Amino acid sequence: MKILIADDSRVMRQIVTRTLRQAGFGDHDLVEAADGQETVDKANSEKPDLIISDWNMPELTGIEVLRKLRAAGNDVKFGFVTSECTPEMQQAAEAAGSAFFIVKPFTAERFDEVFSPILG
């Protein structure tokens, strides 16, 4: 599977990558995007099977990315890894078609719990 990791923080992209590896998902093909627009562009050009996205990013926020993809008919599995977690954000994410919501800081156990059903 190809996984697109979208976060404006290079450190957090590395931590997501490392945590995926620790949770046993290191064999998947990983690509990265550093802002919202790049996420949309790579969602189209790289055709990932899963997008793990930050919420608060320059250019387009994560929720704007998700809405844009869905509006264009792109049904890629999409979810958030974010430090922000309010009920209204979770509702907005779900309404837009988000599959999961992981709050920073996170652990490999949390990744395993969320991604095992998706990545097998």
Partner 1 sequence: MSAEILVGEDDLAEMVEQVWVSYLDPEGINPLVLNGDAKQLSEVHSTVSITGSWHGHLVFASTRDAAKKAAAAFLAMEPDEVSQDDLSDVLGELANIVGGNVKAMLPAGCYLSLPTVVLAPDTASYYPTAERITGLYGVWDGEPVSISMWQSVKQEAKA
Q: Strands of 50-53's sheet, edge to edge?
A: 29-33, 2-6, 50-53, 77-82, 101-103
Residue 34 has which token pair?
Answer: 């550093």
Using the minimum distance from each CB to partner 1, give the nearer residue, 24 or 58.
58
Q: In this complex, which beta carbon is closest to partner 1, that of residue 18 or of residue 47? A: 18
Residues near partner 1 (CB under 8 A):
8-12, 14-15, 18, 56, 58, 82-88, 103-107
C-beta closer to partner 1: residue 21 or 28: 21
Q: How far apart are CA 54 and CA 62, in angstroms?
A: 6
**Nearest distance from C-beta of residue 36 to partner 1, angstroms:** 12
- Nearest approach, Cβ of 72 to partner 1 (angstroms)? 26
Given CA atoms 76, 16, 100, 9 in this order, what sign does their dihedral have? negative
Q: How far is the CB of 89 from partner 1 (least distance, A)?
A: 9
